[in-house]
Every structure is written in structure tokens, then in C-alpha cells.
Structure 1
Amino acid sequence: MPNRTALITGAARGLGAVVARRFHEAGYNVALADIAIAPVQALARELSQDESTACAIELDVTSKADFETARDALLTRWGTVDVLVNNAGASKIVPVMEITAEQFDQVIDVNLRSVLFGCQVFGQYFANRGAGRIVNIASLAGQNGGSATGAHYAAAKGGTLTLTKVFARDLASRGVTVNAIAPGPLDLPIVHESVPADTLQKVMAGLPAGRLGSASYIADVAVMLASADAYFANGACWDVNGGLYMR
């Protein structure tokens, strides 16, 4: 049985599912967390038929108590948690002048409040044990203010980048690193489903790489940042955007 465990939020589909698969391939016990329990249960059984190295966790990322429950359940199950990937996200494309208070709060809660609670709960646990890795999935939208996925989403992802730096600085002396990955547009079904075709065509036309990004490469970066060798990478934002945003 592997002796390292990774928890991935938003693992039911899209990038989260790809990241979970990659960590499992890399030899980790994998906890697939999502508010939609049925899809992560199916994926856990696919990865590990007897669920000895993969399990599903029903997790509402807007609840700090749910993160604490997940932590305790994994410690009971596998005796350790080594990596947290804050991937859960959601948005609804609405013109910025039309975003309601309810829509804003919902997107901020799922995309940003979740990062705060995840980093608090697992950051403290990692600090107490003297080791741990946190990888926050941000977005190009949080860097360039892109509104293709909604201004409230962009604001949340910009906040994710800031929280990454705050927690990285706070936890660095205790063996914990906190980094972010900011993907550009990815070739995923959810992207094609949620972004209007004409908008996506305009984005692709402006991509220096000439094509959408690979979710599997984002997963590779996450696994790299979770490794013991990545101890000197901290508080950083890893840009994987096909050249759309250079700095």
C-alpha cells in the first residue's frame, strides 16, 4: 500500500478527475472529494476495485467542518495525509454588470472560501507534523481579468493567488509549501460545454500555442509540486497558458 496520500477536491469530473488519476498513477493513495458523491465513488472503484488505494469523500468545500471531517477520516483510513489539491470550482457566465449578490457569493464561496478553509485545516495539520504540500488550482482569469468564465470567477481566482502567497509565507518555516497553478483554456468537455463556441474560437485564435492546453500536463505539474524535491518552490504561481499571459 502506498505511504503517501493526496486529497483532491472537485474530483468528480474535469481537471479534478484527471489530477486524481495522475496522483494515483504516481503511487499515492487518493481521496476523491466532491459534493457529488456518485461520480467520485465510481472513479474511486475504477482506480482501485477494492478501494484500498482510492476512496470517495462527500465534501462541501464551503464548509470548514467538512474539511475537518475529511482530514480525520483519511487519518483513520490511511494514517496520513500528505498533499491537498484545492481544485473545486464553479462559475456561471454572466456579464459583470448583471452579476447578482447571490451569484457572486456562490462563486466566491466555491472557488475562494474553499481555498481558505482547505489551507487552514490541512495547513495546520501539515505544520504540526512538519511536512506537507498544498497545490491551489487558480486560473489565467485571475491574472489577466479575463471574463470568459465570469468576472466573479476571475475575482475568486485572483484571491486564490493571494491566499497562496499568504499561506506559503505563514507555513514555510514548518516544512509546508503552498503553490498555485494558473491554467489557460484547457481541452476538457466542461470547457466546451460552458464557454460559448464563438468565445472559445476567439480565445484559440489568440493562443500563441495554437491549441487548447492538456489537462494531463496540469496534473503533471501538480504531482511535481507535491514531490519532496519541490521544497524550494513556494508561494509561486505556475503559468500553464499556452503563451496567452507572459510576465
Structure 2
Amino acid sequence: MAALDVDGTQTAVVTGGGNGLGADICRALHEAGFRVVVSDVDLTAAEGLAAELDSTGQTAVAVRIDVSRPDDFQSALEMIVERWGKAHVLVNNAARTEVKPLLDIDPADFNSILATNAGGCFAGSQVFGRHFKQNGYGRIINLASIAGQNGGTATGAHYAASKGAILTLTKVFARDLAAFGVTTNAIAPGPHDTPMVRSVLTDDKLPAALAGIPVGHLGDPKFVAKLIVLMAGPESGFVNGACFDVNGGIYMR
């Protein structure tokens, strides 16, 4: 507990926090008593949510992070240190997805999505991992996907490959940082009722998708947000290198 503030308050950064699942994560963390840095490439969306959480800016602020730019993570960390002294939690949520047949994917598009999804996870974990290691405490939580486990069915190969890479990065950071009080874990959601999933599973595709989910419905992103809150706390220190599957039974292991 020595690594936390005197009052026990933690500061959490959520990438892609302005909309969708990221916004649900920000709300859940803030409700649980975390100071929240809402980061997004869409600064307007991030500012709107931060104002909703705390219009005074004392417990919620917005910052623009393009996760394909490591310098953005460093700038955000410097802002946090200046404002609150240290950061405690990083949630790597930001991602791009695209539906395209395997043989039609342009290599440049493949590399671009890998750079955003896997590269952003690596850059954020590295920048904040150094900070966490120095302070002797930290929680890194990565949003992977069932697509990274089963190769994907409704998304492109570039998205699936990027999420598989995130699962591997989770293990690498978990192994290398554990001795310094820093844990790294992942969540691999299946199809949840989020704007990103709805953009892929349009009304004409949704019935077939639901038929392939053993529980018969889309997941609730608010549950994923609650799970992240649990993993972000000090009491989760014995959970490291794990991947929590939240997929309705589509992929069992």
C-alpha cells in the first residue's frame, strides 16, 4: 500500500476512453473511487466524458492519446505526475477494427492496424511500466479479444493478429515486471453490445451471430468494466499474466 497515495486513491488511465467500452470502463473506475484520465484520439469525446464524471477536474481529466504515437503516452504520464504525483493503473483499451476478406487485406492496412492495436499496447505498457517499476506498484490491464484466440470469425485477420499479439505481450510484461509490484493481465471479450461490435454485426448479420453464442445473447460491456475495476485494485496482486475470457461460451479452454 505504500505505493498508493496517503488516502489510498489510485489514478487510472484508459485509452480509447471517450466512447463505447472505454467510456464504460472510465465510469466504473470513477464510481469505484479512482481518479480517471480519459484518453482518446478524439479529444472532444474525452473532454465530454471527463466533464460528466467531474466538472471540476479534480478526479477526472481528458487527454489526447494517439496510441500509435509513444510520445503521447509520455506526455500524458508527465501531466499525471505534475498533477497527482504518480499513476497506478493503465487500461490498454484503444483499438481499430476492420472487416475484410483475408486475401483482400492490403499489407499496409495490416501493418497499420497492428501498429495501433498491438503497437499501442506495447508503447503504453512500456512507458507506464517504467513508471510503475520505479514506484514499486502498478496494474496494466489489456483488452484482448476472442479473435486473438480463435482467429476471428467476424473481423479481419489484421484485427485478430493484433489481439493475439496483445495476449503475448501481456505474458511478457507480466513476467518482466512482476518482481517490482506490477501485474499485467488481459481480458478477452467475445461479442458485446458495443458500438464497435454493432458496426460489424449489422442487423442482417446479428441473428446468425447470436445463434453461434451458447448463451444466446451479446455480452454486457458494463460487466467487463466491473471486472477491470476488480483487477485494478491492490487486492488483485496475485493475479498476473492471466487472461479472463468473457465470451458467452463461444471459446472454451
Q: TM-score, normalised by structure 1?
A: 0.97
Paired position in structure 1 for 2:177: 171
Paired position in structure 2 for 1:103: 109
**Alignment partners' CA distance in 2, 1:38 and 1:76:** 23
SS in structure 1 at match of 2:237? helix
SS in structure 2 at match of 1:197? coil
Over aligned residues, Cα RMSD in angstroms? 1.2
SS in structure 2 at match of 1:49? coil
Question: Which aligned pairs between 1:174-189 and structure 2 lie closer than 5 A?
Answer: 174-189=180-195
Does residue 249 of structure 2 align to residue 243 of structure 1?
yes
User: What is the identity, as a one-letter code, of the residue corresponding to 2:45?
Assistant: P
**Alignment partners' CA distance in 2, 1:233 and 1:197:** 38
SS in structure 2 at match of 1:232? coil
**Alignment partners' CA distance in 2, 1:200 and 1:89:** 22
Structure 2 contact 187–245 (Cα < 8 Å) conserved:
yes
The C-alpha deviation readout for 1:73-103, integer Å capped at 9, x for no partner, is 0111111210000000011111010000221
User: What is the identity, as a one-letter code, of the residue corresponding to 2:199?
Assistant: E
User: What is the identity, as a one-letter code, of the residue corresponding to 1:50?
Assistant: T
Paired position in structure 2 for 1:155: 161
SS in structure 1 at match of 2:205? helix
Structure 1 contact 2–28 (Cα < 8 Å) conserved:
no
**Alignment partners' CA distance in 2, 1:73 and 1:51:** 13
Displacement of 1:2: 7.1
**Alignment partners' CA distance in 1, 2:199 and 2:187:** 22
Displacement of 1:194: 3.0
Does residue 60 of structure 2 align to residue 54 of structure 1?
yes
Q: Tell me which of 69, 89, 92 is aligned to 1:83.
A: 89
SS in structure 1 at match of 2:109? helix
User: What is the identity, as a one-letter code, of the residue corresponding to 2:190?
Assistant: G
SS in structure 2 at match of 1:32? strand
Gapped regions of structure 1 (runs ≥ 5): none
Does residue 53 of structure 2 align to residue 40 of structure 1?
no
Paired position in structure 1 for 2:149: 143
Displacement of 1:188: 1.7
Gapped regions of structure 2 (runs ≥ 5): 1-6
